[in-house]
Amino acid sequence: MKKIGVCLAASVLFCGCTTTKISPDVRNQLNQKQAILKTAPVAMIIDGCLLRNELGTDLIVAEQSNWTAEKFAGLLSQQLSDQGIQVGKKLKPFVCGYMPKEQLQEYDYKADSEVTRVKVTQYPLINKDNVIRLTEQQQNSLLNLNQSFNRWQQLSINNLKEKKPTSNTLDLNNEDIAVLKDLTQANYIFIAALTGVEASFGQKFTAGALSVGISLATVGAGANFVSVLMPREGQHYLVHIVDLDKKEVFWTKAGILAGNLYSTKKHSVEAKAILDPLFEVPAK
């Protein structure tokens, strides 16, 4: 495992945190965001990336990654519908699409339980369950979108260390924006990265702990940042809403994925109140 990423933002307006009390002014601004999202159908781009940390080369389990992406898309779609938001296109184009090529090719890959694991040589890893066949241009624009988040998060980390503010603007060119809008038929896109790190029995027995894996952290809201690195074993989601017209991160939420993500026989995914606190979701 090579890289740590975190979710950072200027306030609860951009990064969800249900443990922080929201002021009336912030609540009003979040309500305005709700109204904007209800004006036209939104799109989804979902990326699953489940890893097994092993004694040798770590393994990407593609089948469970794809199932996780599919089921999370269903959960998010239902929660959006419950809030009166129309959902248009749902794309699940890649497996571990947030990883840069240099990192991805350090892992082994197993397409499903019936095949032998192989070294990752292709880039990107295509989700065979994605119903939309992508052109090379569409594929490249989606990858550029993913990497723009990586750059934004790294800039956020650097600015946090230096106590500087961070813009919510993404580094995307106009050509990519045009391709993404044509592909998704939407201006607002919910982009979800679903990550998991699981130790094999041998690794647990001999090492007792995992090296830190890809993606997530939790983050404080408001003026006081508290960044916490992803647990060494765990299952997480990170959802961004992107405004393509403005090339901006509209809102972000990090949370825990429950369920049997690694099971091939009883696979399940649970994620409650994904939209809280953007929407006030009653506790159940």
> Does 267 map to a domain?
no
Please tell me the distance from the alpha carbon of residue 10 to that of residue 149, in angstroms, as a whole number: 15
> Does 265 map to a domain?
no
> 6 vs 56, 113, 136, 192, 235, CA distance in Å?
26, 31, 29, 14, 14
> Does 261 map to a domain?
no
Q: How many CB atoms lie within 10 A of CB 141?
A: 23
Q: Is the pLDDT of residue 128 over 50?
A: yes
- Domain ranges, residue 50: 15-256
Please tell me the distance from the alpha carbon of residue 189 to that of residue 202, in angstroms, as a whole number: 40
> Does 182 map to a domain?
yes
**What is the number of domains present in the chain?**
1
Q: Which two structure tokens, joined as six digits, stand for 187?
A: 């201006």
**Mean pLDDT, the chain, integer:** 81
Mean pLDDT to the nearest integer, 251-267: 91
- Interval 55-78: pLDDT, tens: 778 899 999 999 999 999 999 999
> Does 282 map to a domain?
no
Q: Is the pLDDT of residue 168 over 60?
A: yes
88-124 residues labelled b (16+ CB within 10 A) or e (exposed): ebbbbbbbbbbbeeeebeebbbbbeeeeebeebeeeb
